[in-house]
Structure 1
């Protein structure tokens, strides 16, 4: 499967509410995720916990719009621009999370992912 197809599958999982299934399949045990503020989170266990905390803070998922997906098949790099609309628990209403995520792959799994984004209520 091409990197383009793999990253598309991940975002299909997000849209369908099964993001953690994609996380388990596509992320390496030693993955490093770099958050919007530059914080690095190392390891699948730490990132699984962080992802679960995010999803448990969401009261309602309104959807995700994929604005663009690209892949450099030779270098194993993908990037996705998206907007996810969610309502967080205790919030007054929905919020748009605009994000660009860049993934570096080794074989079948993501080893590094970096996020760039903004939040608009």
Structure 2
């Protein structure tokens, strides 16, 4: 399966609200994730815990989607632009737009870096 097809399946699952299932299926045990703030998180267990806490901070999701996606099959990289409209517990509502660049090996994400406007984001 191409990495573009893998990324499409991952994004489809995310869009259907299967965030943790997609994470479990597509992320390697040694994954490294880098936030736009520069924060580096290493390991699947640690990153899954981060995802769970982020999902628990949400009160509601009002929409979202993929605006662009591409892949370099030779280097094993995908690049996806997404957006989401979220309400957080405590009343804050935010439309988030980000780009993620993933490095895939053997059908799993081993590295992901996020690009977004980090100003004012405290998660």
* TM-score of the superposed pair, with normalisation by structure 2: 0.92
Count of aligned pairs between the two proteins = 119
State the partner residue of 1:46: 46
Unpaired runs of at least 5, structure 2? none
More off after superposition, 33-42 vs 111-120? 111-120
Unpaired runs of at least 5, structure 1? none
State the partner residue of 1:109: 108
Counterpart CA distance in 1 for 2:30 and 2:81 is 24
**1:44-87 Cα distance to aligned partner (Å, 9 max, x none):** 01000000000110100112121100000111000101111110
* TM-score of the superposed pair, with normalisation by structure 1: 0.93
Question: Runs ≥4 in structure 1, deviation > 6 angstroms?
Answer: none
Alignment RMSD (CA, Å): 1.3
